[in-house]
């Protein structure tokens, strides 16, 4: 029982990071300017199903599966998953902000390009193919 809880908690953190990165790619591809908040709901519901399924398989391996008990495990997984999802989401947004190459103004104009991205172009040892 404890192994199932530890495995599902570890898996929830990893899957949350993976699903948040997929969410960022989807937002970048389809909706460049605004965030899609409904993807958070879809992520939580999908994570709940995966985590509840893993926990149910690991903890109830000997007994015969029943549909109502899976829903109890699912709703319990959602309750345990929400704080983990919120913390990972905050950390992921800070990571994305730090990784961004430029800062934009509210009217969507580039204000500042970070120095490390400007320096990268100047110090490349570019070898021309014609020389």
pLDDT tens-digit map of 87-106: 999 998 888 878 777 777 77
- Domain holding 43, by residue range, is 2-122
User: CA of 30: how far to CAs of 17, 45, 46, 96, 112, in Å?
Assistant: 20, 21, 21, 18, 25
32 is a domain residue: yes
Residue 131 lies in a domain: no
**Total count of domains within the chain:** 1
One DSSP character per residue, 43-86 reads HHHHHHHHHHHHHHHHHSSSSPP-HHHHHHHHHHHHHHHHHHHH
The answer to whether residue 129 is domain-embedded is no
Phi then psi dihedrals of residue 49, to 5 deg: -65, -45
Asked, for residue 42, whether it belongs to a domain, the answer is: yes
Q: What pTM value is reported for the model?
A: 0.70
Q: Is residue 43 part of a domain?
A: yes
Higher pLDDT, 66 or 130: 66
The answer to which of 33-42, 62-71, 84-93 has the lowest mean pLDDT is 62-71
Is 56 contained in some domain?
A: yes
- Looking at per-residue pLDDT, the higher value among 74 and 131 belongs to 74
* Residue 73 covered by a domain: yes
> What is the number of residues in the chain?
131
Q: Residue 131: what pLDDT? A: 46
Does residue 62 form part of some domain?
A: yes
Name the token pair of 124: 């490349």
Q: Are 82 and 47 in contact (CB under 8 A)?
A: no
């Amino acid at each position: 029982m404890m192994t199932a809880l530890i495995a599902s908690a570890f898996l929830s953190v990893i899957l949350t990071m993976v699903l948040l990165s997929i969410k960022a790619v989807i937002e970048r591809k389809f909706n460049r300017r605004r965030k899609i908040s409904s993807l958070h709901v879809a992520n939580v519901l999908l994570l709940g199903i995966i985590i509840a399924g893993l926990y149910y398989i690991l903890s109830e391996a000997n007994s015969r599966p029943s549909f109502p008990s899976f829903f109890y495990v699912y709703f319990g997984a959602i309750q345990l998953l929400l704080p983990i999802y919120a913390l990972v989401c905050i950390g992921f947004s800070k990571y994305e902000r730090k990784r961004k190459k430029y800062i934009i103004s509210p009217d969507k104009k580039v204000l500042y390009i970070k120095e490390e991205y400007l320096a990268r172009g100047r110090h490349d040892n570019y070898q021309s193919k014609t020389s």
